[in-house]
Amino acid sequence: MPPLILGGGPAGSAAAIALAEMGIAATILERTREPGDALCGGFLSWRTLAALERLGLPADMLNPRATLRLRLFAGDHVAEAALPGPARAVSRRRLDALLLARAGEVGASVERGVAVRTLDGGTARLADGGEVTGDTILLATGKHELRGAARDARDTNDPMIGLRARLKPTPAIGDAIELHLFDRGYAGLVVQEDGRANLCLAVARSRLQMAGDPPALLAALARENPALATRLDGLEPGAGIDAIANVPYGWRATSTVPALYRLGDQAAVIPSLAGEGMGIALVSGKMAARAVARGIDARLFQTRLAHHAARPLAIAGAIAAIARRPSGARAIVRLSRAPWLVRAAAHLTRINQSGVDGGA
């Protein structure tokens, strides 16, 4: 019975492609009929781009324009530094479509419009009442929980909320990725392949509640942060703001049940300001594929992946915790004026890609 991959995002597609390269044709069940934009920053680091190229997706296919610099804001404090290598920004609509197409090309079975509602052992129960079974399940549903296989992440007193909106072309951003730090949160801005800017925020629930709703929060942030205010001028009237609650930044799955391999955000959730969520998704997919092909128990795989992701999650978590305090945010901006510190932080928050293609 072929491995069953629940979710056709980067983690699930990477697993399917890697399995196909080893002669194993997996089945991907993806709930959407057409590619959509997930709540994601869309930033692909130099290391993630190398991993995607090894999967058959060169950088210029994703976005011909490179992202070369990091720009940081905390109130009226600003810093800018070159990234350690050229990055790209791409919408999940485009990235997911290309990865799923690649998975199909190399032999995976891709079934779209198949929504899984619950998982009971090796049986996936579908929204239409049907069932699909698999001896091996790869769970790649992103930040969304699946009944019967929910993450064991603990609630905090002030959990983080993810928000996303798309802005009209904003020349001020240029070839940079911007991080705007504010009280109890931060916003990332980068220009994607269609020329529009993707705005993603991670904000504490208390800060959102204080504002009232997402549009009121953006208005409050614009009043507090002059540079962000100019970017938010590109927010189209009535534009939708996507949201997801209780994002467990810093969480790792350290255990699982037999034959259930947890991938991507179902395995490890790095604070979004690190820009390494896609890197972790690809690594987890490739590691899981190797483990499945070699008959490595899911529980051992999960322990190995948790260890592999520990350092970048810990360092990104420490930086994010400091950045959520106004005094800490200003300190980070001042320190970021030293290019070597930016390079060091960028490298330390990347997941190690070396050896992943050669073994689990």
Lookup result for tokens 């930086």: 319
pLDDT of residue 152: 87
Q: Give helix 298-323 / helix 339-348 axis angle, nearest 10°.
A: 150
**Model-level pTM?**
0.94
Measuring CA to CA, how many Å separate 132 from each of 24, 129, 138, 285, 335?
18, 10, 13, 21, 53
- Which of the residues in the chain have pLDDT under 50? 358-360
Please name the fold of domain 4-63+91-154+248-324.
Answer: FAD/NAD(P)-binding domain (3.50.50)
pLDDT of residue 359: 39
Domain assignments of the chain as residue spans, ordered by start: 4-63+91-154+248-324
